[in-house]
Amino acid sequence: MCGRLSQYRGIHDFVAALSMPNALVSTVGEQPLERYNVAPSTQVALFHIEGDTLHADRVRWGWRPHWAKDRAAPINARVEKVAHGAFFRAIWPHRAITPIDNWFEWVDEGGPKKQPYLIRRRDGAPILCAVIGQFPDADEGPEEHDGFVIITADSAGGMVDIHDRRPVVLAPELAREWLDMATPKERAELMLLHQSEPSETFEWFRVSQAVGNVRNDGPELIQSRS
Q: How far apart are CA 123 and CA 17, in angstroms?
A: 12
Residue 212: DSSP 8-state: G
Structure confidence by residue, pLDDT tens digits, 32-91: 999 999 999 999 999 999 999 999 999 999 999 989 888 889 999 999 999 999 999 999
38 and 4 in contact (C-beta within 8 Å)?
yes
Task: Provide the 3-class DSSP secondary structure of residue 75.
Answer: coil
Strand order in 115-121's β-sheet?
A: 35-38, 5-7, 102-107, 115-121, 202-206
Q: How far apart are CA 26 and CA 119, in angstroms?
A: 27
Structure confidence by residue, pLDDT tens digits, 113-143: 999 999 999 999 999 999 999 999 877 778 8
109 and 115 in contact (C-beta within 8 Å)?
yes
pLDDT at 171 over 80: yes
DSSP string of 2-44? -S-EEE-S-HHHHHHHHT--S-EEESS-SS---EEEE-TTSEE
Region 191-212: mean pLDDT is 95
| pLDDT value at residue 7 | 98
pTM for the full predicted model: 0.95
- For domain 5-222, which architecture applies? Alpha-Beta Complex (3.90)
| pLDDT value at residue 120 | 97
| pLDDT value at residue 40 | 97
Which residues are catalytic, by number? 2, 105
